[in-house]
Amino acid sequence: MRELGKSGLEVSAIGLGCMGMSYAYGVVPDRNEMISLIRSAVELGVTFFDTAEVYGPYANEELVGEALAPYREDVTIATKFGFDIRDGKRVGIDSRSEHIREAVEGSLRRLQADTIGLLYQHRVDPNVPIEVVAETVKELMEEGKVQHWGLSEAGAETIRRAHKVLPLTAVQSEYSMWWRRPEQELFPTLEELGIGLVPFSPLGRGFLTGRFNRRSRFDSSDLRLTVPRFTPENIEANQVLVQLIKEIAARNAATPAQVALGWLLAKKPWIVPIPGTTNLERLKENLASQDIELGPEEVRGIDAALTKVRIAGDRYPEELERMTGL
Positions marked catalytic: 55
Cis before 57? omega within 30: yes
Percent helix, strand, coil in the chain (nearest 5)?
A: 45, 15, 40
What gap in Å lies between CA 208 and CA 259, rounded to an integer? 9
| Residue 45: count of CB within 10 angstroms of its CB | 12
Contact (Cβ atoms closer than 8 angstroms) between residue 69 and residue 83: no
Strands (E), the chain: 2-3, 10-11, 16-17, 48-50, 76-81, 83-86, 89-93, 116-121, 146-152, 170-174, 196-200
What gap in Å lies between CA 184 and CA 16, rounded to an integer? 26
Contact (Cβ atoms closer than 8 angstroms) between residue 155 and residue 321: no
DSSP 176: B
To 5 degrees, how large is the angle CA 195–CA 197–CA 199?
Answer: 165
To 5 degrees, how large is the angle CA 53–CA 174–CA 95?
Answer: 40
